[in-house]
Amino acid sequence: MGSLLAILIVPLLARAAFFSFSSLLNSTAEELQASGTPLNSQTMPLLTPAKNIDPHPAIGGADITVVDGSALLADGSVLGNLVETSGVSNSGQISVYTVREGDTLSEIAEMYNVSVSTIAGANRIERRVIHPGQELIILPITGVQHVVAKGDTLASIAKKYKGDLEDIASYNELATDAALTVGETIIVPNGVIEAPPAPRSSGSTAAVRSAGGPPVAQGYYGWPVDGGVVTQGIHGYNGIDIGARTGTSIFAAAAGTVIVARSGGYNGGYGSYVVVKHDNGTQTLYAHASAVLVSVGEQVSKGQPIAKVGSTGRSTGNHLHFEVRGAANPFRR
């Protein structure tokens, strides 16, 4: 009988001791001190894991990568309430951000590492007022970082890097004739650094990636205009200009989903424009349109009319400004 009682009692005592020890481990240091329990290696509470669904809740996104110490490339991803990102890193992808309660324009600009003026100009925002539910187009900036030297002006910097004076002033929130301080940093949107002479070709034409450049999607993109001729080679963000009469049809270069369809307004210089996201992770942009024929969310097929040629935004004549983001522009020259 005594042996039977021992068998029954010992496990119960062990279990009680275990739960007592477990309760100590799950107690906070303050609770243990209040109960008079001394803190030692056996009673010290364990560290608990973060309970936030986001393990890095304080991290923003869309860092600008500095290439070769001077060229800037905006990252295509961001942590936040995104409607659209392609997921292609460092490809200059355009994003759409939905404003949340409590957001400010400056906080959103900081999150994406662009200026307030960049967002305001691309979204026709007046007096920097935004409201919850509003969708903002975030145009990543690619360009050059310049450290001001003695005698520099915005005009001389624009000339040096083949940038636009007004765009430089707007991005850096300066007047076009502002006095610059030696040592300060100026960002030149879409600025160009003269590249060294290209090495002689080995004669091979099989490569699908330009030297040091983005991948080329051979045969993926169709000619985006009904007729037209290339009037300017690569400039801006991997874009070309195709001259054509006003009203000429603009076609989707490949099948995809419309993520931007803006009619009227300056829109960062693009005027009326369309952006299509493609299944290969790239985006194509069609700017300066006289008319937009599609809407956001619409599925389009390759060769489908999506807009009409015009001269809206920053434009000096009728043409299509056509960009490819995430791959080489197949019509570059």
- What confidence score (pLDDT) does residue 112 get? 86
- What confidence score (pLDDT) does residue 230 get? 94
If you compute the radius of gyration of the chain from its CA atoms, what whole number of angstroms results?
29
Contacts of 101 (CB under 8 A, 6+ apart): 132
Helical pair 105-112 and 116-123, crossing angle rounded to 10 deg: 110
Which tens digit of pLDDT belongs to each residue from 273-299?
A: 999 999 999 999 999 999 999 999 999
Task: Write out 161-223 in H/E/C secondary structure.
Answer: CCCCHHHHHHHCCCCCCCCCCCCCEEEEECCCCCCCCCCCCCCCCCCCECCCCCECCCCCCCC
Of the candidates 246, 242, 247, 248, which has an alpha carbon nearest to the alpha carbon of residue 223?
Answer: 242
- What confidence score (pLDDT) does residue 83 get? 32
Decide: pTM greater than 0.75: no
- Compute φ and ψ for 68, nearest 5 degrees: 55, 30
pLDDT tens track, the chain, 333 positions: 555 555 555 555 555 544 444 454 455 545 555 666 555 545 544 444 433 333 333 322 223 333 333 444 443 332 223 333 322 234 578 899 999 999 999 999 888 888 787 788 788 888 889 999 999 999 887 677 889 999 999 999 999 988 889 888 888 888 999 999 999 989 888 777 764 454 444 443 333 333 344 555 568 999 999 999 999 998 878 899 999 999 999 999 999 999 999 999 888 889 999 999 999 999 999 999 999 999 999 999 999 999 999 999 988 899 999 999 989 999 987
* Dist CA 99 CA 293 (whole Å): 26
Burial (Cβ within 10 Å: 0-12, 13-18, ≥19) of residue 97: buried
Which tens digit of pLDDT belongs to each residue from 146-186?
A: 899 999 999 999 999 888 898 888 888 889 999 999 999 89
- What confidence score (pLDDT) does residue 215 get? 54
Of the candidates 278, 326, 281, which has an alpha carbon nearest to the alpha carbon of residue 91?
Answer: 326
* Dist CA 16 CA 23 (whole Å): 10
- What confidence score (pLDDT) does residue 39 get? 52
